[in-house]
């Protein structure tokens, strides 16, 4: 294997939970990445808002194409889930909103 390429900022969002969902998606696919600015949101107002967002950086920019495809698939799946009606958990029978991928009550994944 050759020399490792340079790091590249890949993704940023105000929603820290979504940032970590994307990071986990990349990690599961074997793409090394790091989260930066995760604790800087408290400084919003002191620094420009777009600089206070959590970011995901790819350790090697070579992974950019694969990471972008995974992100596109993830965002499409999120849109499809949010467009659906409420669903009932198969484990605890709790009614969940359409955009929930897991039951809010027992954390069972949506079927």
**Domain ranges for the chain:** 8-83
Residue 102 to residue 106: CA distance in whole angstroms: 8
Q: Which of 23-27, 40-44, 89-93, 98-102 bottoms out in mean pLDDT, i.e. has the lowest?
A: 40-44
Q: Calculate helix-pair angle for 16-28, 64-82, nearest 10 degrees.
A: 130
Residues 6+ apart with CB under 8 A from 82: 98, 99
> In this structure, what token pair is assigned to residue 84?
């659906």
CA atoms within 13 A on the CB side of 7: 12
DSSP symbols for 19-38: HHHHHHHHHHTT--EEEEST
Position 1 pLDDT exceeds 70: no
pLDDT band at 86 (very low <50, low <70, confident <90, very high): confident
């Amino acid at each position: 294997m050759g020399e490792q390429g340079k790091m590249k900022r890949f993704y940023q969002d105000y929603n820290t939970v979504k940032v970590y969902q994307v990071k986990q998606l990349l990690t599961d696919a074997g793409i090394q990445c790091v989260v930066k600015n995760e604790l800087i949101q408290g400084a919003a107002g002191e620094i420009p808002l777009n600089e206070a967002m959590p970011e995901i950086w790819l350790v090697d920019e070579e992974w950019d194409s694969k990471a972008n495809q995974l992100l596109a698939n993830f965002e499409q799946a999120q849109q499809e889930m949010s467009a659906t009606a409420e669903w009932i958990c198969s484990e605890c029978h709790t009614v969940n909103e359409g955009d929930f991928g897991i039951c809010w009550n027992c954390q069972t994944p949506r079927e």
